[in-house]
Amino acid sequence: MTITIDKNSGFCFGVINAIKAAEQYLQQHKTLYCLGDIVHNNEEVNRLTGLGLKIITLKQFEQLKDTTVLIRAHGEPPATYQIAKENNITLIDATCQVVAQLQQKIKTEVDNNPDAQILIVGKTGHAEVEGLLGQTKHNGKVISSLHDLENIDYAKPAKLYAQTTQNSEKYNEIAETIRLNYKEKGNEFMVEMHNTICKRVSNRSKEIKDFAAQFDAVLFVSDKKSSNGLFLYEVCKKQNPNTFFISSVEQLQDIDIEKFNSIGICGATSTPVWLMEKIMLLI
User: Which residues are part of the catalytic machinery?
Assistant: 128
Three-state secondary-structure class, residue 114? coil
Q: How far apart are CA 125 and CA 226, in angstroms?
A: 14
Residue 108 has, within 13 A of its CA and on its CB side, a CA count of 6
Q: How far apart are CA 40 and CA 177, in angstroms?
A: 31
Q: How far apart are CA 49 and CA 46, in angstroms?
A: 5
Beta bridge partners of 67: none
Q: Which helix (H) or strand (E) holds 239?
A: helix 227-239
Three-state secondary-structure class, residue 250? helix
Determine the residue type at 206. Answer: K
Backbone torsion region of residue 146, taken as left when φ is above 0, otherwise alpha when ψ lies between -120 and 50, otherwise beta: alpha
Beta bridge partners of 3: 263
Q: Hey, CA dihedral for 72, 78, 83, 88, is it positive or negative?
A: positive
